[in-house]
Amino acid sequence: MTDTKLRQKLGPNASSFERHIAVGLDTAGLKIEDFDPVYMSHTEDKSKGVGFGIKQVKGDSSSYVCCFEDGLEFPTGCSSIVIDEDQSASTIAVLVLVSILSGRPIESPDCPHCEEEA
């Protein structure tokens, strides 16, 4: 988590998500570095800005999630968990923290449009 230039570009939702994850892991006595945190730009949609990503399971790249301003994205699947008035970035951070602490990673929600195409 040393890329301060990208960290400074986090929007309020991604920043809130990052802070909740960092405080939660620290409170649980875990090192955030063990979960490979990273600041990144979206590879397909540059308008999403900079996001904060973390693995939900140590050493398991498939458990990686990244929070951008509009929601939480997954490495697989075609859907995301949206951030809106009813579901804040802090709520999504709690979901990810529980997944980390329980060892049960959350996965991309089913997308009805993707299922129709399959």
pLDDT by residue (tens digit) across 6-51?
667 899 999 999 999 999 999 999 999 999 999 988 777 777 789 9
CA proximity to 13, closest of 53, 71, 97, 54? 71
Distance CA 26, CA 24 (A): 5
What pLDDT, in 10s, does the model give residues 53-90?
999 999 999 999 999 999 999 987 678 899 999 999 99
pTM of the model: 0.86
